[in-house]
Chains A and B, each alone.
Chain A
Amino acid sequence: MRSKKEKKEIFLFLPRKKPFTDWSKLLKRDFKLKHFYKSNDLLSSLLFSPPQAILYYFNRERTVFENLLQLKHNFNLVSLAIILVLEEEDLERLSDDRILSLIDDLILTSSTPLELKIRLSLCLHRLTRISDNNPLTGLPGNVSIELAIKKALESEVPLAIGYVDLDNFKAYNDIYGFSAGDEVIKNLARILQTTIFEKTTKAFLGHIGGDDFVFIVPLSMAEEISKEVIQKFNALLPAFLSEEDLKRGCFIAKDRQGVLREIPLLSVSIALVPITKGKFRHPGELATRAAQVKSVVKKIPGSNYFMDRRA
C-alpha cells in the first residue's frame, strides 16, 4: 500500500519570465515550490531550512552562487540537489571543475517543462541512491576515502593522514543513549569540517562510520589542525554531559563483567601518519602503520594527538 508521500521542496532562483514561468506551472503539481528573486532571501532560507533541490539560473549574481556552493560544502548538504539552469551559450563557461564537483545537474533554458520535471525527479532519485556518503554526517564514506588515500600516497606534496576517533564512546552511548551519541558524532564532524577547511581547501575529510573519521591535510598543518580540533572538542564537551558526570569527572558504568566501574569521560584521539611519495606502496601498509599509532595515542588519557615519526 502506497502511503501519501510528502511533496519535496524546491527553491527556484529564476527570472520572472518565460520559459521559467511555464516550468513553475508544471512543477507546482508535484513539488512544493518557493520562488526567490532576492539573493539575501534565498541564502537566508537556505541557512535555516534547506530544501531538497534548488534551480539556480547561472547568469545571475556569481558571488551568490559561490555562497550557495560554500553552504552546501560547509554543511555537507549531500542531499541538497543544486541544478544549474543555463543558456546554451554559457555552456563553455562551465569548464570549472570545482563547480562541476559541487552541482548535481544541468538544464538548458531551451528544455521543455516536461524535460525539466523528469530531469529534476531523476536527480532527486539519484541522490537518494548515492550511499557512499555517511547518512549521519553527510561526509564521504569508504569508497571515496579509499580513493582519496590512494591519491594521497602518490602526492608530490608532503601530506599527513589523520585518524580520529572517540575514547570511551561505547560507555557514553550506553549511559546517554544512541541519539545523544549521534549528536556528539555530528558535532565532532562539524568541528573537523570547520577547522580543516578554514585552514586549507587542499584537504579531504571522510567519515568511516561510527565515531571513526579520517582526514588528509598538508603535513605542515597537521599538528596545528589536531590541536585546534582537540581544543574545540574539549570546549564543547560539557554541553553533552550531565552535571553529575562533569563534577565527578568520569562516567560510572558496568563493564563487560557487569561490575560497576569508573570510566573516563569522552575524549578525542588523533593518530597522524606523515605521507611522502613512495613511502607506502599501498593502502594496506598505511593501515598497519596507522593502527600502531592509534594504539599509542589511545593509551594516553584525555584528548590527544600523536604524530608518527618513523621513516
Chain B
Amino acid sequence: MADPSEKRKEVKKKIRKLEGLPTLPPIIQKLNALIEDERSSLTQIADLIEKDQVITTKVLRLANSAFYGFPRKVSTVQQAMMLLGINVLKILIMTSSIFEIISKEDVGLWEHSVGVAACAKILAEMKEVSDPQEIATAGLLHDLGKVVQMIAFKEDYEEVKRKVEDGLSSLQAELGVFGIDHAEMGAFLMQQWNLPERLIEMVNSHHDFSRSKKFRKESALLHLADLLVQARGYGETTYVGLPPFDPKALSILKVDPLEIKEIYLKLEPRLYELKFFTEELKREIT
C-alpha cells in the first residue's frame, strides 16, 4: 500500500504539469457554431460557456494570466469576456481539446456541476451573499478535481470507482488511492492557473469547510447546494446515495429547514430547463 503523503506529492506534481483539460465534444461543436454565427450575442456565448466547467476554467485562467498582468480577480465568464474579447475567445476555443473516449455516464458529472451552479446561485440570491454569479461559477467548478482524475489519473480513477462499488465512501476511496480528495485537487489546479482566491477556497472547502479561512459562509453554501442537487437526483457523481452532510452549514448560512421547500421550488424550473441541454449532450455522444 503506497504511502499516502508520497502519493499526494506525486499527484500535485502531475497536476502542476497539466497543460489543459479536455471537454465534451458536443460542447466544443456548439460553441464553434455559436461563435461562427454572426447573429450570436456575447451573452449567448457566455451562457453556453457557463455550462462547461472546463472552458470556464480556461477562460478564467487566461483572463487571470500572470503574463498579461491581470490581477487574480476575474471570477465570472462575463467579466473575462469583457477583457479578452471575441477574437481571443475564438482562438481559445479552437485550441481546446476534447475527450477521445467518453461515455454517457461521464456527462453525469457535467450535469451535476451545472445543477450545483444553479442551486448555488439561488442560495446566494436568497441569503444575499455577494456576487451570485461568482458563487454560481464556484458551483460549476466545485468538482473540477474529478475531471482532473478522469483525464490525468485514469487508472486510479477506475480504482476509486471500484472501491466505492465495494462499499467505501467516495471521499475515503479518494484519500486511499490519491492521498488527496477531489476538492483539494480541483483547488490546487485552480491555484496553479491563477484563479481568484474566493473561488479556490470555496472549491477546496466544499466538503470540509473547516478548511476555509475567509470564505466560510460561501463554502457552507456550496456544501448545501451540492447536497440538495444530489438529493434531487440531478446528474451523477461517484457517490452512491447522498454525500456526507455537515449540519453546521445550515447555521453558518442561517438556513431554516423550512426554507428548503422554497429553495426547491425555485430550483426545479431551472433544473428542468438545464435538462434539455444535458440530454442533448448525451444524445450526441454515441
A touches B in complex, CB < 8 A? yes
Contact with B along A228-272 (1 / 0, CB 8 A): 000010011011100000000000000000000000000000000
Does any Cβ of A come within 8 Å of B4's Cβ? no
Q: Given that A40-B95, A44-B95 are known contacts, is A191 also in contact with B74, CB under 8 Å in the complex? A: no
How many residues of chain A have a CB within 8 Å of chain B? 30
- For B269, list chain A residues within 8 Å (CB): none
Stretch at the interface among B29-37, B43-51, B83-91: B83-91
Flag the segment in A68-76, A218-226, A286-294 that touches B. A68-76
Contact B87 A198 (CB under 8 A): yes
Chain B residues contacting A190 (CB-CB under 8 Å) are 70, 83-85
State whether the Cβ of A200 lies closer than 8 Å to any Cβ in chain B.
no
Chain A residues with Cβ under 8 A from B97's Cβ?
40
Complex CA–CA separation, A235 to B43 (angstroms): 14
B60-68, B117-125, B250-258: which one contacts chain A? B60-68
Look across to chain B and name the residue whose beta carbon is closest to the beta carbon of A46: B91
B25 interface hit (Cβ, 8 Å): no
Question: What range describes how many residues of B lie at the interface?
Answer: 20 to 34
Q: Is A162 an interface residue (CB 8 A)?
A: no
In the docked arrangement, what's the CA distance between A270 and B117, Å?
37
Known: A193-B85, A198-B86. A48 touches B62 (CB 8 A): yes
**Residue pair A236, B82 in contact (C-beta under 8 Å):** yes
- Measured CA separation A238–B79 after assembly (Å): 11
Our pick among B71, B82, B92 for the contact of A194 (Cβ within 8 Å) is B82
Given contacts A191-B83, A236-B82, contact A48 B73 (CB under 8 A): no
Write out the residue numbers on chain A whose beta carbons fall within 8 Å of the beta carbon of B74. Answer: 239
Q: A48-B62, A197-B85 are in contact. Are A67 and B94 (CB under 8 A)?
A: yes
Task: Tell me if A43 is interfacial: C-beta within 8 Å of chain B.
Answer: yes
Determine if B85 and A187 form an interchain contact, defined as CB atoms under 8 angstroms apart: no
Q: Hey, which chain A residues are within 8 Å of B65, CB to CB?
A: 48
The reply to whether the CB of A101 lies closer than 8 angstroms to some CB of chain B is no
B20 in the interface (beta carbon within 8 A) = yes
A70→B61 CA distance, assembly (Å): 19
CB-based contact B88/A74 at 8 Å: yes
Tell whether A71 pairs with B83 under 8 Å between CB atoms, given A48-B62, A50-B67, A183-B71.
no
* Inter-chain contact A194/B84, CB cutoff 8 Å: yes
**Interface hits, A177-193 → B, CB 8 Å:** 180, 182-183, 186-187, 190-191, 193
A8 to B97, CA, bound (A): 29
Residue from the list B68, B71, B78, B95 in contact with A75, Cβ < 8 A:
B68
From the candidates B83, B85, B91, name the one contacting A47 in the complex (CB within 8 A): B91
Name the distance in Å between B185's Cβ and chain A's nearest Cβ.
Answer: 20
Whole-angstrom distance between the Cβ of B253 and the nearest chain A Cβ: 19
Known: A70-B87, A74-B85. Is A47-B73 also a contact (CB below 8 A)?
no
A239's partner among B67, B79, B86, B88 (CB-CB below 8 A) is: B79
Complex CA–CA separation, A180 to B69 (angstroms): 11
A3 within 8 A of B: no
Select from chain B the residue with minimum beta-carbon distance to A68: B91
Q: Which of A43, A47, A197, A198 has the most CB of B within 10 A?
A: A47
> Given the complex of chains A and B, what is the CA–CA distance between A187 and B71 in angstroms?
9
Smallest CB–CB gap between B94 and chain A, Å? 7
CA distance A44 to B97 in the complex (A): 10
Most buried by A among B20, B87, B91: B91
Q: Which residue of chain B has its CB nearest to the CB of A190? A: B83
Selected A-B contacts with CB under 8 Å, 5 pairs: A40-B94, A182-B69, A194-B85, A198-B85, A198-B87
Given A48-B61, A194-B84, A239-B74, 13 further pairs, Cβ under 8 A: A40-B97, A43-B91, A44-B20, A47-B95, A50-B67, A75-B68, A75-B88, A197-B87, A198-B85, A198-B86, A198-B87, A235-B78, A235-B82
